[in-house]
Amino acid sequence: MRLPLSLLSLALPWLPADTPAPLLPAVAAELVTVASPAAGRGTTPPDLPRARVIGVSPLGERVPVGEPVRVTLSAPAPADRVTVTLEPDVPTRRHWESPTQLVLAPETRWRGGRAQRVTIELPDEPRVEFGFRTEVPEPRAVVPGEGKRVILTFDDGPQDRRQADRLLDVLREHEARVIFFPTGRWARQRKDWVERAVDEGHWVCNHTFSHRNLTLGLPDDLIRFEIENGAGHGTCRLFRPPLMAIDKRVERIARELGYDVFLWDIDSRDWQDTPAVDVERTVLGQVRPDAVVLLHMHAAGTMEALPSLLPRLRDAGYLLDFQPAAADGGAALELPRPAVPAD
C-alpha cells in the first residue's frame, strides 16, 4: 500500500523493502509501507487515537548532509512506541518538535553521497520506509598534485555510441590520457573506437568478455575464456575484475594469462547514477598523487562532470596522463596493490 502523500516525489525508483542497503538503486524517494512483524505487538492504549505516519522528509537527491529527518504522525503517539531504524546506522539526536512531529538530526552528518534508508514502526500499523541521498560536501581543500599524475580509469562501455565518442573528444580537448576497461563484447562491436582510443594515447585493457562475476563458482575454463576474450588481450597486462569480484583462484588464472589485477583507490560512485556535481566533489575530495580513480564510460554524471573536473584536477597540480613518459622517462606504470581477499 502507498500512502497518498502529495509531498512524495514519484519520479525516482521504488525501493523494494527487502533490498539490502548496499544494493540500493540510485536512491529511494518513495514512501512505501510494508506489513510489519511488529503489528499487534503492543497495541495503542484505548485513550489515544491510533497514530499513523502521514508525512516524511527529506526525500530525493542531494539532500544537505545536516538536514534532519522529520516524521509527521496523524495523532500523538507515546514516544517509546515509535521505532525508527536507519540504514546505514548513523548516530542521531531525536526530539519531538510537537506531539505529532518527530525530528532526528544526525549528530555530525549523514554520509555524503550515500543512500540513507529510514524505517518507521508504530503499533498496529504497517511499517513505513523511505529513503533519500545526500549531497557530497564541497571539499575544504584539494590535496595538491605537485606535478604527479592522477590515473583516471573508465569501465564498461555505453549503449550510446555517441557517448563513447564524446568521451574521447572531451579527453582530447583536455589532453588527458586514461585507461579504459570496456568489456570484450563491447570492444568487439566498437573496433573503430578502440583504434581511435589507442591512437590518442589511451590504454584499452581487460574487464572480461561479458562482465560476469568470476567468483560465483565458474569452472576454470570459463574464467579463462572470459579473460582471454577481454578487451586489450595481448596488448595490455592490466585486468580489472567486474563488480570487484576477485578471489585467489581468479587472481591465479589472471596471472597465468599474464595479467596484473588492477583495482582503484577512489570510487567516484558514478555507477549509482550520481549527479555530476557529486562525482566531481567525490573525486576532488579524495584525490592524491598517483591515485587511481574509478569512473564509468556510461555514467551520465561523469560525462557532465569531466569538463569541470579535469581542469580542476590540473589546477590542483595533477598531471592528467596515466603514463607521463616525458616526466619520468616512460617508467613502467606502478600498480596499486590489489585488495585480494584471503580464501
Interface residues with Zn ion (CB under 5 A)?
Answer: 155-156, 242
Pick 156 or 251: Cβ nearer Zn ion: 156
Pick 121 or 155: Cβ nearer Zn ion: 155
Upper half-sphere CA count for residue 85 (Cβ side, 13 Å): 8
Residue 189 grid cell? 562491436
* Rounded-to-integer distance, Cα 271 and Cα 267, Å: 9
Q: By Cβ distance, which residue is nearest to Zn ion? A: 155
Separate counts of helices (H) and strands (E) for the chain = 8, 16
204 touches 180 (CB < 8 A): yes
Pick 116 or 208: Cβ nearer Zn ion: 208
Query: At residue 215, what is the residue type?
Result: T
Pick 77 or 179: Cβ nearer Zn ion: 179
Pick 61 or 156: Cβ nearer Zn ion: 156
Alpha-helical segments (H) within the chain: 161-173, 184-189, 191-199, 220-228, 248-256, 276-286, 300-315, 325-328
**DSSP letters spanning 150-170:** -EEEEEE--S-HHHHHHHHHH
* Rounded-to-integer distance, Cα 56 and Cα 71, Å: 5
Q: Which residue has the cell 558514478?
A: 270
Tell the smallest beta-carbon distance from residue 207 to Zn ion (Å).
6
Q: Is 291 exposed, middle or buried (0-12, 13-18, 19+ CB in 10 A)?
A: buried
Q: Taking the C-alpha atoms of 89, 91, 92 and 93 in order, what is their torsion angle to the nearest 10 degrees?
A: 150
Query: What's the DSSP call for residue 2?
Result: -
* Rounded-to-integer distance, Cα 175 and Cα 324, Å: 12
Q: Write 12-21 long-range contacts (CB < 8 A, 24+).
A: 12/60, 12/61, 15/117, 15/129, 15/130, 15/131, 17/127, 17/129, 21/87, 21/88, 21/115, 21/117
Pick 242 or 275: Cβ nearer Zn ion: 242
Pick 118 or 299: Cβ nearer Zn ion: 299
Pick 131 or 241: Cβ nearer Zn ion: 241
